[in-house]
Structure 1
Amino acid sequence: MLRSLSVIVVALLWYYLSSRIQVPNMAPIKNVAVIGGSGNVGKAIVQELLAAGFVVTALTRSSSSSTFPDGVKVKKVDYESIDSLKEAFGGQDVVVSAIATPAVQGQKTIIDAAIAAGVKRFIPSEFGINTRITGGTAIGKILSGKVAIVDYLDEKSKSNPEVTWTGVSTGLFFDWGLDNIASVDFDNKTVRVVDSGNEKFQASNLKYIGKAVASILKHPDQTANKYLSVASFNVSHNEIIKVVEELTGTTFTVDRVDSEELQKLGEEKLSKGDFSAFLPLLQRWNFADGKGHAVKPGDSADELLELPKDDLKESIRAWLTKNGRL
C-alpha cells in the first residue's frame, strides 16, 4: 500500500514539475538573408521584411545587375560553392529562398551551407500551391523538386534540433497573375471559365505573401518545423467576374472549358517533356469543380500569423486601374 502511494506521489510530483518546465524559446530573429530577392515574390518579401524591422541581406550571383531598396545589404556569391555561401550566411539568423521553381533542387547546397554557418531557420521556395498534397498527380511531378527540398529540411531538423524550417503555401499569386486567373478578354467582352466557375481556390497578393514571411519570423517558436497555408482570400472565378462586371459596368459572355480537357492537354505536354504543361494542370488544380483546394479554416495559419485578410474588390480595382480598365 505504501509503495503504491509512493509511486503515485512521485508521478504527481513529476507531472507538477514537468508542466512548469519551459522549452527554451528561440532567440529573437534580426538578420535575414534573401535569395531570389529581385523576383516578383522576392521583392515583396524584401519590402515587408524591411517594413517589419529586420536587417535584410540579398544574395546574388556575381554577374547579377539586380538592384534593391535602400537599407538592403548585397552579397555576391557562387551558388555552387558551399564555402562561398557559408561565408555569406555568417551572422544570419534566417535564410528565405524565393528562387524560381526550375532551380529549387539547388537549394540543397544552400541549405547545407546555411546549417554549417549556424543559420536558425530556413524558409524554402514553396510559395504557390500546397505541394504536400500533390503526390501521385501530374502537377506533382513538375513540383517534385519542391517536395524533395521540404523533405530534406525535415530530415535535417530531426537530426539537428538547432535546424528549423517553415514551408509556406500561398496559392495563386493573385494580383500578379490576375490576367491569367481572370481570363477576361476586355476587347471582345468574353471570359474563359473552367467548369461551373463556382469552385473556390486559394490565392494571395504578393504583399500578403511578404507579410506572411515577416510574421513567421515574428513568431519563430510557433512556426518552427511546420508547413503553413495562408491566403488573402479563398475565391471562385465567378466571384471575380462579378466584381469585374460591377466595377467596369460591362457584362461578359462566358466561354466554358472542360477541366478534363485541361488535364489531358497537360499530361500530353508533360509526356513530351514540355513543361508548359504546368499552366493547364494548374488551372485544373485550382478551378475544376470539386477539387477542394481552398484553404479550410482549420488549416489556415492566417490567424496564427495575425494577418488581416485582403479586400477582394479593392484588389481587383487596383488590377483594373493598372491595366487602364477604370
Structure 2
Amino acid sequence: MTQTKNHVENIAIVGAGGTVGKFITEALLKTGKHIVTAISREDSSSLLPAGVKVAKVNYDDQSSLVAALTGQEVLIITMNVRASPDQQNKLIDAAATAGVPWILPNEFGGDPLDTELGKDTMIGAGKVKYRDYIEKLGKSSWIGIACGFWYEFSLGGGQERYGFDFKDRTLILMDNGTAKINTSTFPQVGRAVASLLSLKVHPDDEDDKSACLENYKNKPVYISSFTIGQQDMFDSVLRVTGTSLSDWKVTHATAKERFQSGQELFRNGSIVGFGRLLYARNFFPGSTGNFGAIKGLDNDVLGLPEEDLDEFTKVAIQMSKTMVY
C-alpha cells in the first residue's frame, strides 16, 4: 500500500468493545485523527463505543477478513485468551493480503523480548510465533505494547495475582513486598496506543530525529503507569480503605516459593497454579518485571500523564466485588 501522507488514519481493531479494546478505541477516537473500524463477528452483540465504524466478518471465510482490512493502515488485535488459537493467524494472513502496513498483535504484558521470562511463564513462545509470522509474510510490521500487568485487574483479582483478598482482608507478601514491577492501568494503555499511532510514520527528512512509527518497527513500546512493589500497593490500599496493618492478616513467602508451588499446582491440572506462577515469576528479586529499569520507558515520548495510584486502587477494590477469579 502506497502512503501519500506521513501519518496513519484508517485503523481497524479486533475487540473494540472488550476489556482493554474499549479503552484503546475511545482514546483513538478522542484524538480526532483516526477513522476507527471495529472488526466484529457476524453474530456479535458487543457494545461498541460511539463513533466506531463496524465491519462484520466470518473467520471461516478469509475473503471477508481481507475485505474488512482492505484500505486499513493499522490492525490492532485485542482478544480474549479463550479465543481460538488460529484466529490471530487468520487476521495476520488477511492483513498481509490486504496490504496493512502495521499490526499491533495481541501483545500486551511484560517485555516480549525477555526470552527467559517468557519461557518460565510459558507464554513467550506463543507470542513469538505471531511476531515471527508477521515478519515471515513480509507485508506488515509489528509493534508490541509492553505495559506489565493490568493494575486494576491484578490488584482486584485475588491472591494469585498481586496477593490481595479484599473480602477477607488478607495479603500474601512476597519477599517483604520490596520487588518493583511495572504495571499499567487500562486508560494508560489506551492513551499509549492512541499516542503511538498519532506519531509520524517516518522522519520528515534525514535531519529529523523526532519520534515516529518507524522507530518501533518490529519492536516493543515500553510504558508503565506505576513502578511499584506489593508494599507500595499495600500502603495505597490502607490509605484508600482507611484501615491499618492490624486490620489485615499478612502472611509471607518468597516469590520463588510461590512460583514453584504454582508450577506444582499447574502440573496437577489446576489453572489457579498458572496464575500464581505467572505473577510470582515477575516478582523475583531483580526480575525484568521492572523492564523500565533495564530498557527505559517511552512514557515521555508518548506524552503519557502521571497517574494517581490511589485513584486506581479504588477502581481495583470496586472491581474485586464482581470479579470472578
Q: Same fold (TM over 0.5)?
A: yes
Range moving further from structure 2, 302-311 or 227-236: 302-311
Change (3 A) 1:185 1:110: closer
- Rounded to whole Å, the distance in 1 between the matches of 2:283 and 2:51 is 41
Q: Greater RCO between the two (CA within 8 Å, min separation 6)?
A: 2
Superposed CA RMSD: 2.5
Q: Which letter does structure 2 place at the counterpart of 1:264?
A: Q
In the alignment, which of 97, 109, 115 is matched to residue 128 of structure 1? 109
Structure 1 position 81 matched with structure 2 position 81: no
Using the TM superposition, give the Cα deviation of residue 275 of structure 1 relative to its aligned residue in structure 2, in angstroms: 4.4
Aligned counterpart, 2:241: 248
In the alignment, which of 181, 187, 190 is matched to residue 170 of structure 2? 190
Aligned counterpart, 2:15: 36
SS class of match (1:221)? helix
- Rounded to whole Å, the distance in 2 between the matches of 1:228 and 1:122 is 13
Q: Which letter does structure 2 place at the counterpart of 1:287?
A: F
1:196–1:289 Cα contact (<8 Å) kept: no
Q: List per-residue Cα deviations over 1:60-119 (Å, max 9, x = no partner).
A: 111211121211111211123321100011221110000123445531221111121121
SS class of match (2:287)? coil
Change (3 A) 1:270 1:184: closer
SS class of match (1:239)? helix
Structure 1: give runs of 5+ residues left out of the alignment.
1-23
Using the TM superposition, give the Cα deviation of residue 166 of structure 1 relative to its aligned residue in structure 2, in angstroms: 0.7
The aligned runs of 1:1-326 (5 Å cut-off) are 27-53=6-32, 54-103=34-83, 105-135=86-116, 139-157=120-138, 160=139, 163-180=140-157, 181-219=161-199, 220-251=213-244, 252-272=248-268, 274-297=270-293, 298-320=295-317
SS class of match (1:92)? coil
SS class of match (2:145)? strand
Aligned length: 297
Percent sequence identity over aligned pairs: 32
1:26–1:221 Cα contact (<8 Å) kept: no
* Length-normalised TM-score, structure 1: 0.82
Using the TM superposition, give the Cα deviation of residue 263 of structure 1 relative to its aligned residue in structure 2, in angstroms: 2.1
2:12–2:72 Cα contact (<8 Å) kept: yes
Range moving further from structure 2, 137-146 or 207-216: 137-146
* Length-normalised TM-score, structure 2: 0.82
Using the TM superposition, give the Cα deviation of residue 187 of structure 1 relative to its aligned residue in structure 2, in angstroms: 5.0
Larger radius of gyration: 1
Q: Which letter does structure 2 place at the counterpart of 1:43?
A: K
Using the TM superposition, give the Cα deviation of residue 204 of structure 1 relative to its aligned residue in structure 2, in angstroms: 0.5
Change (3 A) 1:292 1:164: closer
Aligned counterpart, 1:8: none
2:172–2:250 Cα contact (<8 Å) kept: yes
